[in-house]
Structure 1
Amino acid sequence: MAVRLAVIASLLLLLPLVPPSSAVVLELHGNIYPNGHFFVTMNIGDPAKPYYLDIDTGSTLTWLQCDAPCQNCNKVPHELYKPTRNKLVKCADPLCSNLHADLGKPKRCGPQTQCDYGIQYVDGSSIGVLIIGRLSLPASHGTNPTDIAFGCGYDQGKENFNVPTPVDGILGLGRGRVTLLSQLKSQGVATKHVMGHCLSSKGGGFLFFGDAKVPTSGVTWFPMNRGHKHYSPGHGTLHFNSNSQPISAAPMEVIFDSGATYTYFAPQPYQATVSVVKSTLSNECKLLNEVKDKDRALNVCWKGKDRIRTIDEVKKCFRSLSLNFAHGDKKSTLEIPPEHSLIISKEGHVCLGILDGSKEHPSLGGKNLIGGITMLDQMVIYDNERSLLGWGNYQCDKIPSSKTLITSRL
C-alpha cells in the first residue's frame, strides 16, 4: 500500500498545476430608461464608504469625484471622497506612465510632481489626479481589502457643473493597464483577466470578474480586434429582418461600450435603419403614428391610440436588426431584436433607442457604439486571456450567489 501511494504521489507531481477558476459577482442597479446608468456599489477608503460607480467598458480609469477641493463637480449621491496627500501617485511612478499610455496622451510632469490627468468623454470631460486608495471586495469570508490606483476627479467641466447624477464616478472596465481588473490581476488578487456583465431589462443585473461564471454553452464567441484600444469585434455589416443584403453601405466599425446608454450608429447606417423601420411600419402596422414632438434625447418615436406601457404591446410591429462579423473563416452574428432597440418613454410612446452618433456626440466620428440597450438580457463576456468577445441570452435578473463563486484568493 505504501508503495502504491508513493507512485500515485509521484504521478500527481508530474501533473500541471492549474489555478482554480474563480469569480467575484457584484450586483448592479439602475436601468436604461429613465435612469440611464447601470452602476455597482464599491466600498472605498479606510474606513470603507459606499460609492456608486457607472460600469463602463469604454473607459480605462476608475475615478470618483473628490474634495481636493472640487472646482466643478456634479451633485452626486454620496459625500465627496477626501484623499490624503501621502496617497498621491507621483508623476515618475510607472502607474502614471501606464495611465497616460492608456489615454493615448503624453505625460507631462508639473511642479507638484503629482500624476495629473485629463479625460475627454463623448459627453463631457474629467480632470483629476491619480491616487492610491483602499478597495474592499467581497470574499468568501467577509471582505478582502486591497490598494488600487484610481482617479480623484476635481473638475468635471464647466458644461456639467452642478448637474445631479445618480453615480459618484466611473468604474473603468476597458482595455488598458490601469483598469481595475488589470490591477487586481497584476497583484495576484484575480486569477483570470476575464469579466462580464448582465444587464436586465427589468432593471439591475450583475457584473463579474473571473471565469467561473462564464457559461460552457450558448455563447457566441468572436475575436477582438487586437489593434483597437476598445473592445471591438472589428467591422460588421448591418442587416434588417434577416435579409441577405446589408442595409449598411459599407462595413461598420463596432465598439462594445456599456457606458453608453443607447446604441449609436454613424450617419449612413442610422439613416438606413430609420428608413427601413418607418417603411415597415407604414406598410404593415397601422397601429402607430410618428410623434412630431420629440421625447428628450429620443428623436424617433411613435404613439398608439392609447398609452403604450410595454414593448410587448407593439413588438409585432417591428423587426430585428443584426450585425454580421467575419474574421477569416470565423463568422458570428449579433442579433438586435426589437426589445434591444426600443424604449417606452414616460409619455407612453415607443421610441427608437438607436441614435445618430454624429449629431448626439460629434466626437464619435464614424464609430458605432453598441450600448447598454442592445446588451439587455444578455451575458456579455470580455475574455482578455484569449482576446475574445462573447455574448448570449441570459436571465440577468437572476443574480448568482457570490459565495459559491468566490475563492479564498478573491
Structure 2
Amino acid sequence: MHFIKILLHLLALYATFQRCYSEANQLRDAKTPTDCTPSSSILFEVTGNIYPDGYYYVSVCLGDPPTPYHLDFDTGSHFTWVQCDAPCQKCLPAPHPPYKPVTWKMKGCRDPICEDIRYPKDHVCESPNEPCTYYLRYADGGSSLGVVINDPITLQYTNGTLIKPDISFGCGYHQKHPDPNNRPYVDGILGLGSGKEGILSQLRELGIIKNVVGHCFSTQGGGYLFLGDEFVPSSVVWTPMITSDEFAKRYFLGVAELYVGGAATGVRDLRVLFDSGTTFSFFAPEAYGALVSMLSNDIKEKQLYRVHDEYLPVCWRGPQPFESIEDVKNIFKPIALSFENSQNTWLEMYPEAYLIVTKDGNVCLGILDSTAIGAPTVNLIAAISFHDKLIIYDNENQKIGWTIANCKDPPQSQCHSLVIN
C-alpha cells in the first residue's frame, strides 16, 4: 500500500512537470535558426470567454517543481496573488489545490515592495522580520488577504529559453466573494497594472522583459497574452497614458467623446480606463443614457423590442430567438470613443465588442451604468470591448495602443511560434 501511494505521488508530480514543460520538450527537438536572436517576450495561451464564463485566464507555473495555476489576468490590478496553504483560513472553489510556498521567503514589512500594499495602511512596522501583509478589494466585492512571499515562477521565452526567477507575489490565505458560486473559477489573479509591486515591473527590474504587455481576446473565445515588446505590430494606433493621482497604477487614457453610428452624442470629457479583468464595460450615467437612447432609436424599425433577461439590464428580442452575435451585426451600429489627447485617435467598438446573445436568444448590451460599481464619473473599457483587438500597454514609453487582430492566431516569433500553457 505504501509503495502504491509513493507511485501515485510520483505520477502526479510527473504529470505536473509535463504540463509546465511540454512546450519546452517539443522545442528541444527543433533546430534553432542560426540567425535567431534572443527573444524578448513570453507568450501565453488565453482560455475563456465573455459569455457564458465571463472571464479569461492563463496558466502560470509557480514553485519548484513548477506547478500550473490558472490566473485571471487583470490590467486593472497591480498585484499578483494565488490561493495559498499558509494554512488557508478561507479558500474559494478553484481548479487546483492551494499553493504551498517552496521556501517561505516572506517579504518583510519594511521591504520597498510592501510600501503600497501594506495592510493596514497605517500599520507601524516594528521589526524588519515582520511579514508584509496585504489586502486587496475588488469592484465586484471580492477580496484577498495574505502575506507577500518570494518564490520561483517558470517562464519560457518564445525562442525556447527557460528561466525561473524568484518574484514577489501574494500568498492569499483568506479570500471572499459575494457570490462564491458565480465567480471566475481560477486560483488567483495575475496583476498586470503598472505598480512597482506588479509582475511587469519586477520582471523589468530583473532584465527579463521590457515593461510591455499585450492581450488579444477572440469573439469566439480564447486568445493570447504576451509580456515584453517582441510582438508590437506597426499597425498599432497609440494614445498617451495619462498620469493621475486618482488613477495611480491604472491605465488611464484621459478624456474622450462618445459617438454612436458615426454621430456625435454630445457627451464629452469622459474619463477612460482600460481594464482586462472586468467582464463588461461601464459608462458614466450621461454617456450610458445617451448610448441606450441612440441604440434604441436606431433599431426601432428592425422589429426588435425590449425584454427582461436575468443576465443583463438592457436586452432586446427579435421575431425569432437569436443564435449568435452574427445575427445582429448588421442591425446595430458601431460605437466609438475619440480621445482628446491624440488627434484622430479612435477606439471603435463593433457590435461584437459591446453585445452578447444569451441562452434565451436575447441580444443584450454589455455596457453598464458605472454607478453600479460606485464610480459614476468613470468609464471603464473592459474585456468585452477588447474583442478581436490587440491591446498593448507600453509602460516603457507611457502609451497605450490597439489594432484589429485575429486573436485566434498567436503572433509568430522570429525564432519559433511557442505558447506556454
In the other structure, the counterpart of 1:148 is: 167
Q: Which residue of 51, 58, 73 maps to 1:40?
A: 58
Q: Which residue of 245, 249, 254 maps to 1:234?
A: 254
Query: Any idea what SS the aligned residue of 2:293 has?
Result: helix
Give per-residue Cα distances to partners, 1:233-258, cap 9 Å, x unaligned: 10111111111x3342x411100000
- In structure 2, distance between residues paired with 1:339 and 1:141: 35
- In structure 2, distance between residues paired with 1:398 and 1:257: 22
1:295 deviation in Å?
2.7
Q: Which residue of 318, 341, 353 maps to 2:366?
A: 353
Give per-residue Cα distances to partners, 1:247-284, cap 9 Å, x unaligned: 42x411100000011111111211111111111111x3
1:376 deviation in Å?
0.6
1:106 deviation in Å?
4.7
Q: Which residue of 383, 390, 409 maps to 1:379?
A: 390
- Asked if structure 1 preserves the Cα contact closer than 8 Å seen for 2:258 and 2:337, the reply is yes
Give per-residue Cα distances to partners, 1:358-392, cap 9 Å, x unaligned: 12x22x34211100110010010111111111011
1:107 deviation in Å?
5.3
Normalized against structure 1, the TM-score is what?
A: 0.86
In the other structure, the counterpart of 1:6 is: none
Counterpart residue identity of residue 187, structure 1: L
Query: Any idea what SS the aligned residue of 1:317 has?
Result: coil
Q: In the superposition, relative to structure 1, how do residues 105 and 237 fare at CA in structure 2: closer, same or farther (>3 Å)?
A: farther
In the other structure, the counterpart of 2:241 is: 224
In the other structure, the counterpart of 1:167 is: 186
Q: Which residue of 288, 303, 309 maps to 1:294?
A: 309
Q: CA RMSD in A?
A: 2.3
Counterpart residue identity of residue 168, structure 1: D
Query: Any idea what SS the aligned residue of 2:345 has?
Result: strand
The correspondence of residues 1-400 of structure 1 with structure 2, limited to 5 A, is 22-83=40-101, 86-97=104-115, 99-100=117-118, 105-106=121-122, 108-109=124-125, 113-123=130-140, 124-139=142-157, 140-141=159-160, 143-157=162-176, 159-160=178-179, 165-190=184-209, 192-216=210-234, 218-227=235-244, 228-229=247-248, 230-243=250-263, 245-248=264-267, 250-282=268-300, 284-286=301-303, 288-291=304-307, 293-296=308-311, 298-327=312-341, 330-359=343-372, 361-362=373-374, 364-400=375-411
- Asked if structure 1 preserves the Cα contact closer than 8 Å seen for 2:265 and 2:290, the reply is no
- In structure 2, distance between residues paired with 1:86 and 1:349: 51
- In structure 1, distance between residues paired with 2:123 and 2:389: 39
- In structure 2, distance between residues paired with 1:163 and 1:87: 34
Q: In the superposition, relative to structure 1, how do residues 214 and 265 fare at CA in structure 2: closer, same or farther (>3 Å)?
A: same
Query: Any idea what SS the aligned residue of 2:251 has?
Result: coil
1:317 deviation in Å?
1.6
In the other structure, the counterpart of 1:8 is: none
Counterpart residue identity of residue 148, structure 1: I
In the other structure, the counterpart of 2:11 is: none
Normalized against structure 2, the TM-score is what?
A: 0.84
Counterpart residue identity of residue 344, structure 1: V
Query: Any idea what SS the aligned residue of 1:315 has?
Result: coil
- Asked if structure 2 preserves the Cα contact closer than 8 Å seen for 1:220 and 1:392, the reply is yes
- In structure 2, distance between residues paired with 1:164 and 1:55: 14
- In structure 1, distance between residues paired with 2:369 and 2:152: 40
In the other structure, the counterpart of 1:9 is: none
- In structure 1, distance between residues paired with 2:120 and 2:288: 29
Counterpart residue identity of residue 33, structure 1: Y
> How many pairs does the alignment contain?
376
Q: In the superposition, relative to structure 1, how do residues 339 and 170 fare at CA in structure 2: closer, same or farther (>3 Å)?
A: same
1:133 deviation in Å?
1.2
- Asked if structure 2 preserves the Cα contact closer than 8 Å seen for 1:74 and 1:165, the reply is no
Give per-residue Cα distances to partners, 1:163-203, cap 9 Å, x unaligned: 6642111110011101111111101111x211111111111
Counterpart residue identity of residue 179, structure 1: G
1:70 deviation in Å?
2.0
- Asked if structure 2 preserves the Cα contact closer than 8 Å seen for 1:72 and 1:161, the reply is no
- Asked if structure 2 preserves the Cα contact closer than 8 Å seen for 1:308 and 1:348, the reply is yes
Give per-residue Cα distances to partners, 1:197-234, cap 9 Å, x unaligned: 11111111111111110002x21111110234211110
Give per-residue Cα distances to partners, 1:39-90, cap 9 Å, x unaligned: 1100101111110011100000011011222222210011111225732111
Query: Any idea what SS the aligned residue of 1:153 has?
Result: strand
- Asked if structure 1 preserves the Cα contact closer than 8 Å seen for 2:73 and 2:190, the reply is yes
Give per-residue Cα distances to partners, 1:134-157, cap 9 Å, x unaligned: 100013345211110001112223
Q: In the superposition, relative to structure 1, how do residues 129 and 402 fare at CA in structure 2: closer, same or farther (>3 Å)?
A: farther
Structure 1: gaps of 5 or more residues: 1-18
1:349 deviation in Å?
1.0
| Identical counterparts, % of pairs | 42
Q: In the superposition, relative to structure 1, how do residues 212 and 289 fare at CA in structure 2: closer, same or farther (>3 Å)?
A: same
Point out the more displaced range, 64-73 or 201-210.
64-73
